[in-house]
Amino acid sequence: MARRSGRRPGNPDTRQAILSAAREAFAERGFDHASIRAIATSAGVDPALIHHYFGTKDGLFMATIDIPIDPQELLPQVVAGGLDGVGERLVRTFLRVWDSPAGTAGVALFRSAMNNEWTARLLREFMETQVLRRATGMLEIDPAEAPLRSSLVATQMAGMVLVRYILRLEPLASAPADVVVAAVGPTVQRYLAGDLAGLADRR
């Protein structure tokens, strides 16, 4: 492929080599343990070129999974106002994104993650490092409790994707956002801020 795209900077072959190396590194070692330097070595390029193409390590990671949303833009809307009402705001923002055209790409990513261990790892890393960890950090949730609380939130929201957007089980598939927010918001609220029996034993 010698064809150049005007939409993205750089040589497309080099860009693809970096993305392949990054995908492998993020899936095998996880976001935290993958280094730009090692990815550059594996792709046969200078680390500076990765920064030039993708900006930060977050930017490189987001490019590997090709998700058409930016958590850095959405999360502040959800956490603004703190823990009070955060469950409702999270579910409302989530539905707005998934009910939009971006939801179609999200469904494709979920489907792929079900059958491809690497994509599953990348999706898990995305949820952990780009969404959940940041959200619990911004909300100042006790770091000892944050991992369990956020993985509980993940069960509810991933299940929403599955039932509303993939299996399309009625009446939830067609339920207005307000009905879903009223029903599911309190669940997320409790997972993030409520008194969860059993948490004490996990500290």
User: Where does this chain bind its own copies (CB under 8 A)?
Assistant: 110-111, 113-115, 120, 123-124, 127-128, 147-148, 151-152, 154-160, 162-164, 166-173, 175, 178-179, 182-184, 186-187, 190-191, 196-199, 201-202
CB 177 → its own copies: shortest distance, Å? 10
Q: Which is nearer to its own copies, 49 or 161 (CB)?
A: 161
Q: Which is nearer to its own copies, 46 or 66 (CB)?
A: 66
Q: Which is nearer to its own copies, 101 or 198 (CB)?
A: 198
Give the residue ranges of DSSP H helices in the chain. Answer: 12-33, 36-43, 47-54, 57-65, 71-79, 86-98, 102-115, 117-125, 133-138, 146-160, 177-193
**If you write DSSP's letter for every residue of 118-158 in order, what string do you get?**
HHHHHHHHIIIIIIIHHHHHHTT--TTTHHHHHHHHHHHHH
CB 8 → its own copies: shortest distance, Å? 29
CB 175 → its own copies: shortest distance, Å? 7
CB 84 → its own copies: shortest distance, Å? 17
Cβ-contact 21, 43 below 8 angstroms: yes
Q: Which is nearer to its own copies, 49 or 165 (CB)?
A: 165
Interacting residues of 2 by C-beta distance below 8 A, sequence separation 6+ = none
Cβ-contact 132, 157 below 8 angstroms: no
CB 49 → its own copies: shortest distance, Å? 32
Q: Which is nearer to its own copies, 80 or 144 (CB)?
A: 144
Residue 49 is given by DSSP the state H
